Amino acid sequence: MRSRQGIRKRNETMGTKEEQIAQIQGMKKKHNAVILAHYYQNAEVQQVADFLGDSLDLSQKAADNDADVVVFCGVKFMAETAKILSPQKTVLLPREDAGCLMADMIDADDIRALKEEHPDATVVGYVNTTAEVKALCDYCCTSANAVKLVRAIPGNKILFLPDRNLGQYIAAQVPEKTFVFAEGFCPTHHFIEPEDVRQAREEIPDGEILAHPECRPEVLSLVDFVGSTSQILKRARESSSLRIVVCTEQGILYKLQKDSPNKEFIMLSPKLVCPNMKKITLDDVHRSLSRMEPQIDVEDSIRVKALTALERMLQNV
């Protein structure tokens, strides 16, 4: 009973979508806040964002703006990254339970054990890791700069974590180094099958198939282009093909369609949805700004160590 009344009252307070958006704009101004949203977010959230981007774009934006408050519409490791880069800012994650299943596949004890086993390796952590894990990495990277960054590392042996698929993709581009991989993966991308690609090829013979390197190597070997979210967006804009088959999280459709309204975008599979990326709604953004919570904090001893790995990532853009 209490919750039903609560929901009704909240909706009355927030009003219509248009009123809600106007109130969000007003609160943003009042608190000198900025809304950053990942391309995988719900379209209604992307619509109110000041900046849209992939992990790398948003890390840069988080570090480089004059706002006092960052409302991070993504998943927890992204909001933590914003806090590590800008500790003086209030960082809000509108849904505290928006985690990343891949990031949760490795913890500090796992990485300590791997480091003990491979003491001669340089540890490169995908940005999709907790702050505690980042603090134990030599370098962080995103899918957008991983190949460039790994190539530039002086050491010859790389311990890459947590995403085995991305690690294998990088290893194929950097054959001069040896690699050790952790066993993590992104469930949204990992469960795409080569058969899904073959079927799309048959049904859409004129389509260009673009995929994210979090997919398995046997899937990537069948597509036309492999790239990070921002690289997929660029490729779709520049492609001469009018039908684009997309093999990454479904939220990217909003920006793809906005950039190229004359093209048709087709999801390779209905499996390409990350439930955590879909948790934040416009209501959550509104509530978060009006209550200034949930706030993300990173303990200082962890933050300082994680910052070194993140700064090395940003130097290799």
Window contacting ligand SF4 (CB under 6 A); options: 22-30, 86-94, 184-192, 234-242:
184-192
Q: Please identify, using beta-carbon distances, which residue of 45 and 102 lies nearer to ligand SF4.
A: 102
Beta bridge partners of 33: 69
Strand order in the sheet with 69-73: 51-53, 33-38, 69-73, 90-92
Asked if residues 263 and 245 have their Cβ atoms less than 8 Å apart, the reply is no
Site for ligand SF4 in 47-76 (CB under 6 A): 75
Work out how close the CB of 77 gets to ligand SF4 at its nearest, in angstroms, rounded to a whole number.
8
Q: Binder to ligand SF4 among 85, 124, 131, 186 (CB under 6 A)?
A: 186
Specify the stretch interacting with ligand SF4 by CB under 6 A; choose among 105-113, 219-227, 261-269, 271-279.
Answer: 271-279
**Piece of the chain touching ligand SF4 by CB under 6 A; list 171-179, 181-189, 281-289, 298-306:** 181-189
Using CB under 6 A as the binding rule, whether residue 277 contacts ligand SF4 is answered as yes
CB of 250 to ligand SF4, least distance (A): 10
| H or E stretch covering 44 | helix 43-48
Phi-psi region of 40 (alpha: psi -120 to 50; beta: other; left: phi over 0): alpha
Contact pick of 54, 57, 249, 284 for ligand SF4 (by CB under 6 A):
249
Burial class (CB in 10 A: 0-12, 13-18, 19+), 5: exposed
Least separation in angstroms between CB 7 and ligand SF4: 27
Residue with tokens 């004129």: 206
Phi, psi of 235 (to 5 degrees): -60, -40
122 beta partners: 158
Smaller CB distance to ligand SF4: residue 79 or 186? 186
Whose tokens are 């520049």? That residue is 238
> Is the separation of the CB atoms in 119 and 129 below 8 Å?
no
- Toward ligand SF4, which CB reaches closer, 27 or 74? 74
Residues 73-132 that bind ligand SF4 (CB under 6 A): 75, 100-102, 128
Residues that bind ligand SF4 (CB under 6 A): 75, 100-102, 128, 186-188, 249, 274, 276-277
